[in-house]
Structure 1
Amino acid sequence: MADRLAVFGSPIAHSMSPVLHRTAYRLLGLEWEYDSRDVVAADLPGIVNGLDDGWRGLSLTMPLKQAAFELASTHDAMAELTGAVNTLRFVGSGSDRALFGYNTDVAGITRALAAIGVTEAPHVHILGGGATAASAVVAAAELGALSVSILARSPGKSESLVALGRRAGLAVDLARFEDAAGLLEPQLVLSTLPGGSLPAVNYPASVRSGAALLDVAYDPWPSELATRWADAGGPVANGLSMLVQQALVQVRIFAFNDPFQPLEGEEDVLAAMLASVGLDARGLPIA
């Protein structure tokens, strides 16, 4: 019987994860099944504990990442830092089954940026202070940032990200969207705002032409913020590229229980995953 995997979340109908994972498994010659299921946080423990030994792992999207963290018996460094798990790998069987928890969102951000040539950024702006902002803070640290400014409508609700920044080795300050003009100009802007949001900060052309943008939203695309950025000449990465890159790391985990172990023919696998959702090698929409 084929190993079973799925993406859980709510809502889930729009998820591109099944397309990405099935594409990878087909190229790797793996007869694994990957589906999607609408699951809310309160139901996750019961559902996971009820899965039989035919299940290899799960991808978790909103609103399940904190609940998945609580379920995992061990966590990788990125999950420990962020307090969020988006990948569960089942090892063993029956009462001896262990749940390994990983956060591949951080790698998704850094890999998507690397694909457009962005590998470092001393000062970073993060738009939005929700759950994805935690992965964005750690990604900024991975890019060698010295400081991060988090801009939000209600920055007081994001105090936990200041402590996260300290643990990750960088300074984090909080500000309202309207106060952006008084902050250090960024070399990178990470927008974690929902798809369809109007630009929360009116960055001047000097920033939009010189700094990079990653907008984690990808539906609709291009976002208004991404359009303004591209029109000014700045490099832009999108959330669909991030999704593909984090999914590739998930496939490594499902195959080896190791996010750093490359897949056989990984470059071809990644190219096929990108093409399956209409992206080129840089993670940009194919014209």
Structure 2
Amino acid sequence: MTGRTRLAVWGDPIGHSRSPQLHTAAYRHLGLEWTYQRRQVDRAGFVPALTSLDDSWRGLSLTMPLKEVAHDAVDELDRHAALTGAVNTLLLGETLRGFNTDVGGIVDAFTHAGVAEVRRARILGAGATAASALVALSDLGATEVEFRARRPDAADRLRPTAEALGVQLRTADFRAPASDVDATVATLPSGTVLDTDIAMPLAAVGGTLFEAAYAPWPSALAAVWPSPTVISGFEMLLFQAVRQIRIFRDGDQQRELPDEAVTVDIMRSAGMGD
């Protein structure tokens, strides 16, 4: 692999990102002399920064607030990026290709934890991660998804996506009576603490918890969750990065890396080393 050898993660803020540790460890193991750095880029600066890149650049990882603006800037979208309206991975070249690996990262996090199928699910929060969570739950087999948010109508923007997926979408306030689900995906901002009279009823019937936040860990919600399966958002970070590396190496997020299980273990150690 020669030519484009520079990569980076862009976002604002970006200093907290663990992506450089994950990617650098993987490239070292795979024998790729690629550099991967972080750069603070805001929405207004995204297009100028992108157009300034030369041919030494192979791709970019993108975090908030750039996923939507990148979606509008690319020439070609993969299925998950088209469904979510969000791009977190760019493969540079004559054609600018945009991917969403967050969806696959959530699916991989569930399957790695031994959860291969979900039928009924609940998503807490309706922010930026909610669309990827909805598509991931559909990929896991979900046909019914309930959104709970402080403003339930915030999830209405996801109804067209749910319809395209054949998923029945319901909305509710946090305090509404809750029914049993197979899995709960919490997409609330890191550090959110739900009142006990909200958290405990949801935990009692919430099935497996996937908590998108991972610092600090355990989150307030994970700490009270009774299910034997509680999945940290670090797992999504890890597995979406694996998919990004597949894209940067081979242009395909479904094509596994050589010796991938070992690569994942090395990345996990590097990402949890802070």
Contact 1:124–1:148 (Cα < 8 Å) also in 2: yes
SS class of match (1:149): strand
- Counterpart in the other structure of 2:205: 207
Confirm or deny that 1:217 pairs with 2:219: no
Contact 2:179–2:205 (Cα < 8 Å) also in 1: no
CA distance in structure 2 between the partners assigned to 1:206 and 1:173 by the alignment? 20
Map 1:127-138 → 2, pairs under 5 A: 127-138=124-135
Gaps of 5+ in 2: none
1:73 CA displacement: 0.5
1:145 CA displacement: 0.6
1:234 CA displacement: 2.8
- Counterpart in the other structure of 1:58: 60
Contact 1:213–1:234 (Cα < 8 Å) also in 2: no
1:65 CA displacement: 0.3
Offset from partner CA, 1:34-80 (integer Å, 9 cap, x none): 00001111110111011111100000001110011011100000001
- Counterpart in the other structure of 2:69: 67
CA distance in structure 2 between the partners assigned to 1:71 and 1:2 by the alignment? 20
CA distance in structure 2 between the partners assigned to 1:135 and 1:2 by the alignment? 29
1:248 CA displacement: 0.2
Gaps of 5+ in 1: 92-96, 280-287
TM, length-normalised to structure 1: 0.90
RMSD, aligned α-carbons: 1.4
- Counterpart in the other structure of 1:82: 84
Contact 1:252–1:260 (Cα < 8 Å) also in 2: yes
The letter for the 1-side match of 2:244 is Q
Contact 1:122–1:144 (Cα < 8 Å) also in 2: yes
Which among 228, 232, 248 is matched to residue 254 of structure 1? 248
Offset from partner CA, 1:180-220 (integer Å, 9 cap, x none): x2x43211000001111103632436425xx1000000111
Confirm or deny that 1:115 pairs with 2:112: yes
SS class of match (2:72): helix
Confirm or deny that 1:12 pairs with 2:6: no
Q: How many residues align?
A: 268
**Identity %, equivalent residues:** 43
The letter for the 1-side match of 2:243 is V
1:2 CA displacement: 6.8
Which among 33, 36, 53 is matched to residue 34 of structure 1? 36
The letter for the 2-side match of 1:223 is S
Contact 2:4–2:55 (Cα < 8 Å) also in 1: no
1:105 CA displacement: 0.3
- Counterpart in the other structure of 1:169: 166
1:173 CA displacement: 1.2
Offset from partner CA, 1:104-155 (integer Å, 9 cap, x none): 0001101011111111111110000011100000011001111100111112
Contact 1:162–1:173 (Cα < 8 Å) also in 2: no
CA distance in structure 1 between the partners assigned to 2:59 and 2:119 by the alignment? 36
Offset from partner CA, 1:231-275 (integer Å, 9 cap, x none): x24311111111000000000000011111111111110111111
- Would the alpha carbon gap of residues 202 and 26 (structure 1) be closer, same or farther in structure 2, given more than 3 Å must change? same
